[in-house]
Amino acid sequence: DIVMTQSPDSLAVSLGERATINCKSSQSVLYSSNNRNYLAWYQQKPGQPPKLLIYWASTRESGVPDRFSGSGSGTDFTLTISSLQAEDVAVYYCQQYYYTPALTFGGGTKVEIK
């Protein structure tokens, strides 16, 4: 299975500051035929199910605030929260969907307020 490694495990950011989360896949998730990266990001708040934020590495799901952005290609990806809000405190997961049916998630990154 493809291993997804996230870093850091946790980070504390001041309100209004930028938060950056990294995700690295053990193999490329870029499909050359359509030039798309098969990488999604989810947000999970305590006691809640995950929420889809981004797919195709950089496409925001409908209704997701534009302070959330995704970037990267191949094996290295980043989720950026441009101006951290209190409601963004959560654990964030990346997920690859290139190698199916063995879908795999990263270990998660916990974002807190400094």
Partner 1 sequence: QVQLAQSGAEVKKPGASAKVSCKASGYTFTGYYMHWVRQAPGQGLEWMGWINPHRGGTNYAQKFQGRVTMTRDTSISTAYMELSSLRSDDTAVYFCARDRLQLDWRITTPQNVMDVWGQGTTVTVSS
96 neighbors 103 (Cβ within 8 angstroms)? yes
| Residue 111 bridge partners (DSSP) | 11, 90
Q: Which of 50, 75, 81, 111 binds partner 1 (CB under 8 A)?
A: 50
> Under the criterion CB under 8 A, does residue 108 sit at the interface with partner 1?
yes
What is the closest distance, in whole angstroms, from the C-beta atom of residue 95 to partner 1 in the complex?
A: 8
Candidate ranges 26-34, 35-43, 66-74, 79-87; the one touching partner 1 (CB under 8 A): 35-43
> Under the criterion CB under 8 A, does residue 64 sit at the interface with partner 1?
no
> Nearest 5°: phi and psi at 87?
-75, -5
What is the closest distance, in whole angstroms, from the C-beta atom of residue 14 to partner 1 in the complex?
A: 26
106 neighbors 23 (Cβ within 8 angstroms)? yes
Would you state the structure tokens that stand for residue 55, as one six-digit string?
């797919």
